[in-house]
Structure 1
Amino acid sequence: MKINAFVEDLRTKSAAELNEELVAAKKELFNLRFQNATNQLDNTSRIKEVRRNIARIQTVMAQAQKGV
């Protein structure tokens, strides 16, 4: 149910808010990859989670653009 709540929250946001969310997620992913490369990252599963969240944000943006 956690994922469904996240997606529903995304669907209520405007295009500008979705874009801000996407930029923030990409920055977080960059930082996580950097920490992983320097062996400072404890929770490596967070990388996978952030990647999937980026995909979810992009999917919601594409659906909004198509008008679905």
Structure 2
Amino acid sequence: MATRKKKDAAASAKVSKAAALRDKDVAGLQAEIKDLQKAHFGLRMQKATQQLSNTATLRITRRDIARAKTILAQKQQEAAK
């Protein structure tokens, strides 16, 4: 049962992140992507110097960047129509 609650919580967190990103405009999304990329770079440097204790954060930030880029592409495509 505990794992099911974790999965449900993770799924709802993704939905809320996507919903929050959809509320932003194009400039806001570009700024968000830039911030996420800087954070990901910092995490990669921590990993390289063996200062990163939780390596799962790399995957999380990479997926957040992809999510933001996808929504940005969707918004740009809608604007082009």
Between structures 1 and 2, the one with greater helix share: 2
**Residue in 2 aligned with 1:44?**
55
> Which protein has greater RCO, CA pairs closer than 8 Å, 6+ apart?
1
Runs of 4 or more off by more than 3 Å in structure 1? none
Give how far 1:13 is off. 0.2
Aligned to 2:6: none
Residue in 2 that maps onto 1:15: 26
Instruction: Give unmatched runs, 5+ long, in structure 1.
Output: none
- Output the aligned Cα RMSD: 1.1
Aligned length: 68
**Percent identity, aligned pairs only?**
38
1:58 corresponding residue in structure 2: 69
In our comparison, the structure showing a higher alpha carbon Rg is 2
Structure 2 unmatched runs, 5+: 1-11
> What secondary structure is seen at the aligned counterpart in 2 of 1:42?
coil
1:11 match: secondary structure = helix
Q: TM-score, normalised by structure 2?
A: 0.82
